[in-house]
Amino acid sequence: MFTSTKFLRGSAAALCLLAAPMVQAQDDGGFDFSSMTPDQRAAFGAQVREYLLENPQVIMEAVAVLEDREKQAQAAQDDALVTDNMARLLDDGFSYVGGNPDGDVTVIEFMDYRCGYCRRAHPEVEELIASDGNIRYILKEFPILGEASMVSSKFAVATHIVAGDEAYKAVHDALITLEGNPGNGPLRRIAQTLGLDADAIMAEMESDEVARRIAETRELAIAMNINGTPSFVFGEEMVRGYAPLPTMRQIIEDQRAAE
């Protein structure tokens, strides 16, 4: 949708395009915009208005140019953030590593169990990993959507500490599809259904180690300007937000081609 904010930004960009020849002339010593009288400025504004009314497509073109420049700037900034934090992304010493540990492309996901788009992405990420067979998958617990998110992540991380990788992944899959709030009863039922020691996991949830792991992941996310879920890193490319399966496959293909 073409919002009023985009309209204003596009109008400003279009104005800059129209004024560019004058600014260039000023730089060359021939035109001084600041020397215009109020009447001259009013006349110039009227000309700009008339031009935009007669050529409204200029605004859309200016918006497109502006958005493209912003996307390029954001991508460059994200590339630098990934490079600067690659060591912690790949090996923080505690995050779950699944898929093919020796895969040629690594996919890293910052996720929240209560995030609707994380839930939507979950089966597609699973399909991507299973169908490809050569992807290393790293999960980052990033609870940002309230107390229910934090409880879920504490339970998952505690399971990882108490029972290991396989149990963690099973709990992760259960939590990402859990309906309702993750209270004591639902969490115990998940543990019991999976044959896990519910008492040990529940006791571990409030440990310093669980708190440390979640805090360190949060610090990493802050360092990378990640403030939403899901957020992915495919190889060396950051993708903010949900990406459908065909898009993820294309990104993986592009990453391999770039190597």
The overall average pLDDT reported for the chain is 88
Question: pTM for this one?
Answer: 0.75
Residue 159 clears pLDDT 60, i.e. is over it = yes
For 224-251, b/e burial (b = at least 16 CB within 10 A) is bebebbbbbbbbebbbbebbeeeebbeb
The one-letter amino acid code at 22 reads M
- φ, ψ (nearest 5 deg) of residue 177: -115, 5
* Domain locations along the chain: 4-71, 91-258
Q: What is the pLDDT of residues 71-117, one digit of tens each?
A: 776 777 889 999 999 999 999 999 999 999 999 999 999 999 999 99
Binning pLDDT at 50, 70 and 90, where does residue 214 land?
very high
Q: How far apart are CA 21 and CA 64, in angstroms?
A: 21
The sign one gets for the Cα dihedral 16, 21, 27, 29 is: negative
CA atoms within 13 A on the CB side of 91: 2
Binning pLDDT at 50, 70 and 90, where does residue 37 land?
confident
Name the DSSP class of 69.
H
| Distance separating the N- and C-terminal Cα atoms of the chain | 38
The sign one gets for the Cα dihedral 148, 149, 152, 155 is: negative
Strand-pair partners of 97: 138
Q: How far apart are CA 223 and CA 215, in angstroms?
A: 12
Q: How many residues does the chain have?
A: 259
Q: How far apart are CA 133 and CA 127, in angstroms?
A: 10
* 25 or 37, which is more confident: 37
Q: What is the mean pLDDT of residues 231-241?
A: 95
Binning pLDDT at 50, 70 and 90, where does residue 50 land?
confident
For 82-120, b/e burial (b = at least 16 CB within 10 A) is beeeeebbeeeebbbbbbbeebebbbbbbbbbbbeebbe
List the 105-111 sheet strands across, edge first: 96-99, 135-141, 105-111, 231-234, 237-240
Q: How far apart are CA 95 and CA 142, in angstroms?
A: 11
What is the topology classification, in CATH, of domain 91-258?
Glutaredoxin (3.40.30)
- The residues, ordered by sequence, that sit 6+ positions from 22 with a Cβ below 8 Å of its Cβ are 31, 33
* The pLDDT value given to residue 223: 96
Q: What is the mean pLDDT of residues 32-38?
A: 74
Q: What is the mean pLDDT of residues 152-158?
A: 98
**CA torsion angle 243 246 250 253 (round to 10):** 120
Q: What is the mean pLDDT of residues 247-252?
A: 97
